[in-house]
């Protein structure tokens, strides 16, 4: 899922963000950086450091962060897009743009399974996956990058199908278990073929999400050995506690905790990963749109939940939704470092929060106020229309 090269016709820009009060790297190994300035050229980070030590000359876009916090743009590891910025599951328009106002700059599809009349024959499912990959490559609502085109496994697929999909640009599978393949042996074979051709896999975990879907228990998850244990806390219904801990202990794959799952089970998975000293495996998603609706603030709510009730520092919780997810999903965003995608969220504690600062407010369960979202070095949204109002808000300044 490598970053796509910018169009040659797009003029090169230089973005300078000054007066950053707190720089959150997205990296578990070093979540807070001693820096107050970020420079991006085009869609890539060029420099991170103290203003006196970096080249800020020639800026085409200059932003005064006004002492607010800067973090990588948030990543939603588990969404179900269909067509443009519309979801038939809730018949709602503009849901992706609303997620932008929740700080999300990147989304990963777990299958376009809500598509009305979704084809289940081999030719049809491949055609739909290639169409979705092409469509969301070309169309980015609000600037949000969506990695889509995620076919679900159906009986009758052979190795050449995965080779063909990979050659066409498909790089992810939809949730294993949402199609007709529901046994571990067959799923393992198909996941292995996908992996051979560079296609990443995710498996549904837990009880059925909607009528017509099925239970996927720990035995099938372990036998399938998909790259990501999708919604390990259930989507929505979680597995028994001993099965969740077994998945954490007996697998080395990514542990995805989602908003549309069982919150207590999510905290159990988090605690187990911490006890195993494997917090780097934990990634976050919403598993939306779904029956419970659209959650524009789903990722920031997960950050607040896991920090306030899971006992991890806020800056670490933010890493789960940025650097961790980027590493597991093989994305070029999610970390504040030279060469990475220049996508950021600037935020502060909400107005009238009883907390002393942003990190303290998150650790006490409050949502942050988002003041600006930047994607690929360009401002995608100013003050969020969905979060509580931030105490301080960045502003664009003249050169």
Mean pLDDT for the stretch of residues 242-251: 98
Question: Residue 209: which pLDDT band, with cuts at 50, 70 and 90?
Answer: confident
What is the rounded distance in angstroms from the CA atom of residue 234 to the CA atom of residue 230?
A: 8
Token digits of residue 368 = 């942050």
Q: What is the predicted pLDDT for the residue at 54?
A: 97
Please name the residue that has the structure tokens 């290639």.
130
Question: Residue 1: which pLDDT band, with cuts at 50, 70 and 90?
Answer: very low
Least confident of 4-8, 237-241, 261-265, 378-382: 4-8
Question: Residue 4: which pLDDT band, with cuts at 50, 70 and 90?
Answer: very low
Q: Dihedrals φ, ψ of 163, to 5°? A: -65, -40
Average pLDDT, the chain: 95
Token digits of residue 208 = 């059925």
- 3-state DSSP helix/strand/coil percent for the chain, to nearest 5? 30, 25, 50
Mean pLDDT for the stretch of residues 93-97: 96
Q: What is the predicted pLDDT for the residue at 214?
A: 78
CA neighbours closer than 13 Å in the CB half-sphere of residue 218: 16
Q: What is the predicted pLDDT for the residue at 208?
A: 84
Assess whether pLDDT exceeds 90 at residue 64. Answer: yes
Q: What is the predicted pLDDT for the residue at 55?
A: 96
Tell me which residue of 365, 350, 239, 238 sits closest to 311, measured CA to CA: 365
Q: What is the pLDDT of residues 138-194, one digit of tens each?
A: 999 999 999 999 999 999 999 999 999 999 999 999 999 999 999 999 999 999 999
User: CA 283 → CA 17, 121, 178, 326, 391, distances in Å?
Assistant: 28, 32, 21, 9, 28
Q: What is the predicted pLDDT for the residue at 264?
A: 98
In DSSP notation, 158-194 reads -HHHHHHHHHTT--BPPPBTSSS--SHHHHHHHHHHH
Q: What is the predicted pLDDT for the residue at 211?
A: 64
Q: What is the predicted pLDDT for the residue at 6?
A: 46
Q: What is the predicted pLDDT for the residue at 3?
A: 41
pTM (2 d.p.): 0.95
Mean pLDDT for the stretch of residues 187-203: 98
Q: What is the predicted pLDDT for the residue at 12?
A: 86
Tell me which residue of 135, 132, 121 sits closest to 172, measured CA to CA: 132
Token digits of residue 304 = 């607040």
Assess whether pLDDT exceeds 90 at residue 352. Answer: yes
What is the rounded distance in angstroms from the CA atom of residue 50 to the CA atom of residue 37?
A: 6
- Count of C-beta atoms within a 10 Å radius of residue 374: 25
Assess whether pLDDT exceeds 50 at residue 47. Answer: yes
Assess whether pLDDT exceeds 80 at residue 59. Answer: yes
Residues contacting 30, CB < 8 A, separation 6+? none
Mean pLDDT for the stretch of residues 209-237: 90
Mean pLDDT for the stretch of residues 287-300: 94
């Amino acid at each position: 899922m490598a970053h796509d090269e910018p169009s040659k016709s797009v003029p090169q820009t230089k973005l300078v963000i000054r007066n950053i009060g707190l720089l959150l790297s997205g990296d578990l190994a070093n979540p807070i950086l001693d820096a107050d300035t970020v420079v991006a050229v085009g869609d890539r980070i060029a420099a991170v450091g103290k203003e006196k030590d970096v080249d800020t000359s020639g800026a085409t876009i200059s932003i005064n962060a006004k002492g607010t916090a800067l973090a990588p743009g948030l990543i939603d590891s588990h969404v179900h897009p269909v067509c443009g910025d519309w979801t038939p599951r809730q018949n709602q328009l503009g849901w992706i743009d609303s997620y932008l106002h929740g700080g999300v700059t990147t989304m990963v599809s777990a299958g376009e399974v809500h598509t009305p009349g979704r084809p289940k024959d081999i030719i049809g499912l491949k055609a739909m996956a290639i169409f979705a990959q092409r469509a969301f490559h070309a169309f980015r609502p609000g600037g949000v990058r969506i990695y889509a085109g995620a076919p679900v496994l159906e009986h009758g697929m052979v190795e050449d199908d995965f080779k063909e999909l990979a050659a066409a640009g498909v790089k992810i599978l939809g949730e294993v278990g949402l199609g007709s393949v529901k046994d571990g042996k067959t799923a393992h074979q198909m996941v292995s073929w996908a992996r051979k051709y560079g296609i990443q896999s995710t498996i549904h975990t837990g009880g059925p999400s909607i009528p017509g879907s099925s239970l996927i228990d720990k035995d099938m998850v372990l036998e399938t050995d998909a790259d990501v244990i999708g919604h390990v806390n259930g989507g929505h219904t979680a597995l028994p506690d001993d099965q969740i801990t077994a998945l954490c202990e007996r697998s080395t794959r990514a542990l995805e905790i989602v908003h549309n799952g069982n919150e207590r089970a999510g905290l159990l998975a988090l605690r187990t990963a911490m006890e195993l000293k494997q917090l780097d495996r934990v990634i976050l998603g919403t598993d939306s749109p779904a029956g419970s609706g659209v959650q524009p603030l789903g990722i920031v709510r997960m950050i607040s939940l896991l920090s306030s009730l899971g006992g991890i520092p806020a800056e670490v919780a933010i890493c789960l939704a940025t650097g961790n997810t980027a590493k597991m999903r093989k994305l070029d965003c999610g970390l504040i470092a030279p060469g990475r995608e220049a996508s950021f969220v600037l935020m502060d504690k909400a107005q009238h929060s009883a907390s002393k600062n942003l990190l303290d407010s998150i650790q006490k369960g409050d949502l942050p106020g988002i003041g600006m979202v930047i994607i690929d070095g360009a401002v995608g949204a100013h003050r969020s229309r969905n979060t509580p109002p931030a105490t301080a808000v960045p502003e664009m300044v003249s050169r």
